């Protein structure tokens, strides 16, 4: 295996899991999953999403980890080291474009989290009807200045943490906050299960109506699987490059995927019983969670405490995710373009500030600016998650399955023979056939949709 001790490495096994889970768990699980499931028929979406996690998600996660650790570089350097000829650097460009797009719209939603944290602390989220919570959110999101301000504040916080380097800031925070988030979600889950709409909510989420699985559900579920696992643009590849030679790749990938999926399902179990109890539509899109959660909290004893704690943890979870996506373009600008880390971080933040501001205004004064019926916010979300990430993932799978030396795969997955990996053949089979062909087929079904 490749030894390169100049690069930073994660120090402990817990550090590896906490950091990859820190990247994976974020708004994708708690904000995006419930709204996507809500608009795509609930159970049908969950079922398709789970299939994609196991069929492509875990194998591609292994592929990113092994390519990263083998080459000890960012996604560009990785393809150059493994295959200097050909056009593989384009996968890197897709990744950088997607990461900047995601960082832009993601920061807007992270900004909403900050607004709701602020409102929770000041006790402003104290209404009694679903309409009032709806009005509260729409007044805020269409108001231009506050969403813009929070987006900028969030991006600057992200900047401050990223500029301090790989290990220190990230590892320390994720280690403490992720378990807290998990525990608080379980508490809210129990609360939701006692609501009058619990049965309807659970039925909606867990009973797949297979007749509802069409190309729009498939493309949505595939995008969500990639988004939630932080796959397809080199984030996990970059993290793999910081793994030590003793880190077990398959085990880390499986643990990350299982924890990430559990958080998404927990979020669904919190949201949908409440949706049916409050009598609102599950299919209202990106605003869903921000109208439902405060309503749930307002009914709890000690609502200010629960609500503030939750939005604080969600904010930290978002931060550990944006840190990871920033790392992709920063590693590119600094390692490939030879910029100082400081300059690279500024460039990343600067681009996100411009596009993030446009996304922040997409719910207010720029709401009329649409392309193919999408606002800029939803276009960025759709194109990056549903198209660019799976495309990146398809190329990474194809590369690992067909072009990467089989001995490299074996030595990476088994740590030079130190660990036994029973599913090696399955992983290779998926990377060779299931993932590239499956992703291609879902894309083809999209053409049908248009
Ligand atoms: N997975 C994160 C979430 O669910 C978001 C994220 C972080 C991401 N890094 C990424 C998504 C890289 C795609 C690619 O919130």
pLDDT per residue over 278-319, tens digit each? 999 999 999 999 999 999 999 999 999 999 999 999 998 999
pLDDT in tens, 233-267: 999 998 899 899 999 999 999 999 999 999 999 99
DSSP for 5-40?
A: TTS----SHHHHHHHHHHHHSSHIIIIIHHHHHHHT
Give the dihedral of Cα atoms 133, 36, 395, 91; nearest 10 deg. Answer: -20
pLDDT in tens, 135-172: 999 999 999 999 999 999 999 999 988 887 655 665 67
Question: Which residues neighbour 350 within 8 Å (Cβ) at sequence distance 6 or greater?
Answer: none
- pLDDT for residue 1: 55
* Cβ proximity of 369 and 377 under 8 Å: no
Look up the domain containing 331 and give its range.
Answer: 13-446
In a domain, 2, yes or no: no
Q: Which of 4, 340, 7, 391 is nearest to 167 (CA)?
A: 7
CATH classification of the domain holding 271: 1.20.1740.10
Band of residue 5 on the pLDDT scale cut at 50, 70, 90: very low
Rounded to the nearest whole angstrom, what is the distance from the C-alpha of residue 358 to the centroid of ligand 1?
Answer: 20
* Cβ proximity of 354 and 100 under 8 Å: no
In a domain, 6, yes or no: no
DSSP for 112-178?
A: HHHHHHHHHHTT----SSHHHHHHHHHHHHTSSHHHHHHHHHHHHHHHHHHTT-SHHHHHHHHHHHH
In a domain, 56, yes or no: yes
Structural domain count of the chain: 1
Ligand 1 atom closest to 235 (CA): 12
Antiparallel, parallel or unpaired: β 370-371 and 374-375? antiparallel
In a domain, 7, yes or no: no
Rounded to the nearest whole angstrom, what is the distance from the C-alpha of residue 101 to the centroid of ligand 1?
Answer: 11
Rounded to the nearest whole angstrom, what is the distance from the C-alpha of residue 30 to the centroid of ligand 1?
Answer: 12
Nearest CA to ligand 1 atom 4: 28
CA distance 446 to 450: 7
pTM, full prediction? 0.94
Ligand 1 atom closest to 231 (CA): 14
In a domain, 169, yes or no: yes
CA distance 57 to 253: 9
Element (DSSP H or E) covering residue 374: strand 374-375
In a domain, 412, yes or no: yes
In a domain, 3, yes or no: no
Give the dihedral of Cα atoms 415, 419, 420, 425; nearest 10 deg. Answer: -20
In a domain, 71, yes or no: yes
């Amino acid at each position: 295996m490749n030894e390169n001790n100049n690069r930073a490495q994660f120090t402990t096994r817990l550090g590896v899991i906490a950091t990859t889970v820190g990247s994976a768990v974020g708004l994708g699980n708690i904000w995006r999953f419930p709204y996507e499931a809500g608009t795509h028929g609930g159970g049908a979406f969950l079922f398709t999403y789970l299939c994609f996690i196991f069929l492509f998600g875990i194998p591609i996660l292994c592929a990113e980890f092994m390519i990263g650790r083998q080459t000890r570089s960012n996604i560009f350097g990785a393809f150059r080291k493994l295959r200097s000829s050909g056009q593989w650097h384009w996968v890197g460009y897709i990744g950088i474009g997607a990461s900047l797009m995601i960082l832009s719209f993601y920061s807007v939603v992270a900004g909403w989290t900050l607004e709701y944290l602020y409102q929770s602390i000041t006790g402003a989220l104290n209404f009694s009807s679903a309409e009032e919570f709806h009005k509260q959110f729409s007044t805020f999101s269409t108001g231009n200045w506050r969403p813009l301000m929070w987006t900028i504040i969030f991006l600057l916080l992200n900047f401050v943490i990223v500029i301090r380097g790989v290990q220190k800031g990230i590892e320390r925070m994720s280690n403490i906050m992720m378990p807290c988030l998990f525990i608080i979600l379980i508490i809210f889950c129990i609360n939701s299960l006692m609501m009058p709409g619990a049965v309807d909510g659970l039925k909606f989420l867990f009973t797949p109506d297979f007749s509802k699985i069409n190309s729009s559900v498939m493309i949505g579920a595939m995008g969500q699987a990639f988004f939630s696992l932080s796959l397809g643009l080199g984030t996990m590849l970059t993290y793999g490059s910081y793994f030590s030679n003793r880190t077990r790749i398959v085990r880390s990938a499986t643990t990350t995927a299982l924890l990430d999926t559990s958080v998404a399902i927990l979020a669904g179990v919190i949201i949908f019983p409440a949706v049916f109890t409050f009598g609102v539509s599950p299919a209202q899109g990106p605003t869903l969670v921000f109208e439902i959660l405060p309503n749930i909290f307002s009914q709890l004893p000690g609502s200010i405490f629960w609500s503030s704690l939750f939005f604080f943890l969600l904010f930290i979870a978002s931060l550990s995710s944006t840190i990871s996506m920033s790392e992709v373009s920063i590693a590119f600008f600094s390692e490939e373009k030879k910029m100082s880390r400081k300059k690279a971080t500024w460039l990343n933040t600067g681009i996100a500030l411009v596009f993030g501001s446009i996304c922040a205004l997409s719910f207010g004064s720029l709401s009329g600016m649409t392309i193919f019926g999408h606002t800029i916010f939803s276009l960025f979300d759709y194109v990056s998650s549903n198209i660019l990430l799976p495309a990146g993932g398809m190329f990474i799978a194809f590369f690992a399955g067909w072009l990467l030396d089989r001995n490299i795969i074996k030595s990476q997955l088994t740590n030079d023979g130190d660990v036994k990996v029973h599913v090696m053949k399955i992983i290779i089979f998926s990377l060779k056939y299931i993932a590239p062909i499956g992703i291609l087929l879902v894309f083809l079904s999209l053409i049908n949709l248009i």
